[in-house]
């Protein structure tokens, strides 16, 4: 997985003992230049959240999820994981910036391939012309 430095910030509400859940606010800031806008999410976390379905999509085909692993007397144990997007559910759509980045890369690769093909055709054409003139 590509190494990207990110700062994660979590805020938890008072736990709901009856439903064994807690409301979570997260802020994820990618530490790169130029500094992108942080990702902010607010959601309920309980034992029914599944990381492969209930996750936050990050840049570079990565996802982030919180897992509630223990809830006892208003004391929570939460595990944070980051994993490749290919392991998440199909409901996720790529971020617009990821799509643009992939299209730009594809365009650059295509331009380079076309330039090689033109150079090869010109070179081949010259050899062909020489063979015909002989």
* Interval 74-111: pLDDT, tens: 789 999 998 888 776 655 455 556 666 677 777 777 77
Q: Which domain holds residue 40?
A: 1-90
Residue 23: predicted pLDDT:
95
133 phi, psi to nearest 5 deg = -75, -20
The token duo for 127 is 């050899």
- In angstroms, the CA 38 to CA 51 distance is 21
Q: What DSSP line would sit under 18-49, residue for residue?
A: TTTEEEEEEEEEE--SS-PPPEEEEEEEETT-
Contact 29, 51 (CB under 8 A): no
Q: Is the pLDDT of residue 130 over 50?
A: no
Q: Are residues 75 and 99 in the same domain?
A: no
Mean pLDDT of 111-133: 60
Residues 27 and 72 in one domain: yes
Q: Are 98 and 61 in contact (CB under 8 A)?
A: yes
For residues 19 and 73, state if they share a domain: yes
Global model pTM greater than 0.75: no
Do residues 56 and 103 both lie within one domain? no
Under the banding of pLDDT at 50, 70 and 90, the label for residue 122 is: low
Same domain, yes or no: 55 and 23: yes
Query: Is 73 found in the same domain as 38?
Result: yes
User: How many domains does the chain divide into?
Assistant: 2
| Rounded distance between C-alpha atoms, residue 16 and residue 45, angstroms | 10
What does the pLDDT look like over 12-55, one tens digit per residue? 999 999 999 999 999 999 888 777 889 999 999 999 888 767 78
Same-domain status, 134 and 99: yes
pLDDT at 69: 93
Of residues 2 and 38, more confidence is placed in 38
Based on the fold, state whether residues 18 and 78 are members of the same structural domain: yes
pLDDT of amino acid 126: 47
CA distance 72 to 70: 6
Q: Are residues 42 and 78 in the same domain?
A: yes
């Amino acid at each position: 997985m590509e190494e990207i430095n990110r700062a994660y910030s979590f805020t938890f509400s008072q736990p709901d003992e009856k439903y064994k859940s807690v409301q979570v606010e997260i802020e994820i800031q990618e530490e790169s230049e130029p500094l992108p806008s942080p990702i902010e999410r607010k959601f309920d976390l309980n034992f029914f959240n599944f990381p492969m379905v209930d996750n936050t999509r990050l840049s570079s085909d990565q996802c982030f999820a919180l897992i509630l692993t223990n809830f006892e007397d208003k004391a929570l144990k939460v595990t944070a994981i980051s994993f490749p997007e290919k392991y998440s559910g199909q409901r996720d759509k790529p971020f617009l910036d990821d799509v643009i980045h992939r299209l730009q890369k594809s365009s650059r690769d295509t331009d380079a391939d076309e330039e090689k093909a033109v150079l090869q055709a010109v070179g081949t054409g010259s050899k062909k012309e020489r063979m015909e003139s002989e």
